[in-house]
Structure 1
């Protein structure tokens, strides 16, 4: 049976607790895989690894961010059918919806943020104090952990991206 493991710092890992849960296809009510039942220790490790990765990401140029995001969208397009199949199995939704709304919507969002990576601009700049120019600089500020709802997993990644800068 397939197993969905945690991926932390680019490594596939067992859950710290050793606990697993069954993944059930809601349209057949059959178990099709098992998933790590992650807990606080797993989340702490993932957040620490993401915070470390964010230090390097902050130093990347807009051009490099755009290139990497476009590469990700191309990879998502290459595995479009597999992503849709995973959505269908996990949620029980119709395949057409999984393809057109979830997968294509997520690919479109990644491409949108790839373009936005080169268009970051300050909200305002002016001389508020004599001899000084003040401006607003938008930049990533941190890492979050998220629990996604069962019926919308891929698109929740898209929604999360929409709440922060590219």
Structure 2
């Protein structure tokens, strides 16, 4: 199982303390994952901030295609992801495989479509000769 952090296109081991992830059904440790250090969180935010200008200008078609690829990858790795979800949450494997994975892939497909048909629902003529509308633009990066 991959347990590293993806920071600026590179997989890195967390420099913070190791945190156990338990299988709640068995009480056993599935894996230990090192948390990100403060410096690694700062590096991830800086990398995301550096990518912000170009990513925020990515056309809806390209964003949609990336979300569809992600949905396809989730389905392609569905059995592996369902096993991980089952072990991590104590949920029956069949429920994770047949309920969770299709629903997760569907959410990405929904937003792939939604990203291509956003509208200015509050548009209108508020000043003579000028059309006004609400425009939603990305505003920046956060770490949470």
Which of the five TM-score ranges fits, normalised by the shorter chain?
A: 0.7 to 0.9
Structure 2 partner of 1:36: 34
Matched, 1:16 2:15: yes
**Separation in structure 1 between the aligned mates of residue 46 and residue 101 of structure 2, nearest angstrom:** 29
Q: 1:64 aligns with which of 55, 62, 73?
A: 62
TM-score, length basis structure 2:
0.86
Deviations 1:90-122 (A, max 9, x none): 111111222233322211100000001110111
CA spacing shift, 1:14–1:60, aligned 2, 3 Å? same
Q: Point out the structure with max Rg over C-alpha.
A: 2
Structure 1 Cα separation of the partners of residues 77 and 62 of structure 2: 23
Matches of residues 148-163 of structure 1 in structure 2 within 5 Å?
none
Which 5+ residue runs of structure 1 have no aligned equivalent? 147-166
Gaps of 5+ in 2: none
Give the Cα separation in 1 of the matches to 2:75 and 2:2.
24
Q: Distance in 2 between matches of 1:120 and 1:25?
A: 41
Q: 1:53 to 1:85 in 2, by over 3 A?
A: farther
Higher mean C-alpha deviation, range 88-97 or range 51-60: 51-60
Determine helix, strand or coil for the equivalent of 2:88: helix
Correspondence for 1:91? 89
Q: CA RMSD, aligned part only?
A: 1.9
Show CA shifts across 1:68-106 (max 9, x none): 111111111100111111111211111122223332221
Q: 1:80 aligns with which of 78, 81, 89?
A: 78
Task: Report the 3-state secondary structure (helix = DSSP H, G, I; strand = E; otherwise coil) of the residue aligned with 1:4.
Answer: coil
Residues 54 and 105 of structure 1, relative CA distance in 2, 3 Å threshold: farther
